[in-house]
Structure 1
Amino acid sequence: MRKWFCLLLGSVVLMSEALAGGVGLGATRLIYPDDARQVTLNIRNTDRQSPFLIQTWVDDARGNKNSDFVIAPPLFVLKPESENTLRVMFTASGLPQDRETLYWLTAKAIPHTSARSKNTLQLASANRIKMFYRPADLPVSPDQAWGQLSGSRSGDRITLNNPTPYHITLALLQVQGKEVQGVMVPPKQSLTLPGRYPGASRFSYRVINDFGAWSKTYTATLK
């Protein structure tokens, strides 16, 4: 067991969205309803030969480790071609009740080291997904919120405004038909897009929903 913990301290970490080193999570995002006692997330090792030591934790929106949630089990061995279930439990209080709060859930996979490979560099990998704490009784549903995004232009800069209580993650964002890198607009906040868009009068977008799928296309006029 000691070799696992040596790797835990000294491994190089590679981040990906939902699949890393043969280990994958069962979702690309996780919603934690305010009234839930816990939520679950599957984690699977698709490698036919190698076990992995799995370490799990939660970071806040800025990427700092956070104790608002407990994940069980926090540390375990995932055997080849096997699956386990992570149980996520909220243990804090005092979060805003008028909007979602963003966290990041990480599952780090450290590969097994055999006697033959002990002198080689072992690369740990990690699955990192968004987790949203969602209060009960928000005034609109997520799918009602997606179409409420608005935009304004000041000179050749464009600012998107999200008046809703949800984080709106945009995919296939286009300004005047020109594709722009997707962004996430926090609830009840505005975000200025990188780049300049002289003469732009409209924008369109699709939203990544709770299940990781894309919504229909929404189009809006810049004010």
Structure 2
Amino acid sequence: MRRYLIALGVLLVSLGWGGVTWAGIVIGGTRVIYPADQREVTVQLSNNGELPSLVQAWVDTGNPEASPEDSEAPFVIFPPIARVEPGSGQVLRLVFGGDRGLAEDRESLFWLNVLDVPPSPQRSEGDPVNFMQLAFRSRIKLFYRPPGLEGHADRAPAQLRWSLSRDPQGQPVLVGENPTPFYVNLSHLGLQGRSLEIGDGQLPPYGEVTFPLPGGVSRDVSRGEFTFINDYGGRVTRDFSL
């Protein structure tokens, strides 16, 4: 049963399927912030579908293939498996189970997984036997925030440093440096009206990331803009100088 539940995006198909079953679990938020001075944090799940769903939740350290049994994340979730009725909800309680060598001078990033497995459809006599069942997995960021970090997370984006450079192959790149102990998550980055490829959009604490410049951006560009995602999932746009 456990191995069935943790399958990533479970897809059960039989030849000549006669119907589709969809899931409806929604997570109340796009990220989870876990302040180290709290005993636990909660995450609200809602079933917006028309059928009950069986939900399994776990935390991983960055490997999307990790199962609950394989995960080394220092978090415990109550309940790990729950049935959520349609139009109802379920509260997940996340409890930190120990530091396991986590850095004390910066945030650590984990991922909360919620696997939603809808029930098999009920059949009446004469209905098609074959059907397709989809299980949906949602995976959102979980930030563990140690106490006493210097500064404030909502001010970290304004402290980013931007400069132009070249990569080892000599191609022009934009360098973003994060001098703060907080993760900064970008959803957009632009120069001279051109959008840059941002990958996962993460600038880690005390780290830097390079972004290839798109064609048509001149080397004498002096300003740009970025959009970051704050603790509440909101998107905020700022200008920056090079």
Q: TM-score range by the shorter chain?
A: 0.7 to 0.9
Query: Kindly tell me: are residues 51 and 6 of structure 1, through their superposed partners in 2, closer, same or farther at Cα, counting changes over 3 Å?
Result: farther
Computed over aligned residues only, the root mean square deviation of the Cα atoms, in angstroms, reads: 2.3
Matches of residues 1-223 of structure 1 in structure 2 within 5 Å? Answer: 7-8=4-5, 12-13=9-10, 21-48=23-50, 50-63=51-64, 64=66, 65-93=71-99, 94-116=101-123, 119-155=130-166, 156-182=172-198, 183-196=201-214, 197-199=217-219, 200-215=221-236, 217-222=237-242
Give the length in aligned residue pairs: 212
SS at structure 1 position matched to 2:225: strand
Give the match for residue 17 of structure 1: none
Long gaps (5+) in structure 1? 15-19
Within 1, Cα distance between the matches of 2:106 and 2:8?
37
Letter in 1 for 2:148: D
8 Å CA contact retained: 1:68, 1:91 = yes
- In the TM superposition, residue 13 of structure 1 has moved relative to its aligned partner by 4.0
8 Å CA contact retained: 2:8, 2:137 = no
- In the TM superposition, residue 138 of structure 1 has moved relative to its aligned partner by 0.9
8 Å CA contact retained: 1:176, 1:203 = yes
- Which of 61-70 and 30-39 deviates more? 61-70
Structure 1 or 2, whichever has the larger Rg, is: 2
**TM-score, with structure 1 as normaliser:** 0.86
Deviations 1:183-206 (A, max 9, x none): 111111011113444413322112
Within 1, Cα distance between the matches of 2:27 and 2:118?
16
Query: Kindly tell me: are residues 118 and 185 of structure 1, through their superposed partners in 2, closer, same or farther at Cα, counting changes over 3 Å?
Result: farther
Letter in 1 for 2:156: A
Within 1, Cα distance between the matches of 2:62 and 2:6?
24
8 Å CA contact retained: 1:163, 1:187 = yes
Within 2, Cα distance between the matches of 1:54 and 1:186?
31
- Greater fraction helix: 1
8 Å CA contact retained: 1:38, 1:89 = yes
- In the TM superposition, residue 105 of structure 1 has moved relative to its aligned partner by 0.1
Within 2, Cα distance between the matches of 1:188 and 1:39?
26
Long gaps (5+) in structure 2? 12-21, 167-171
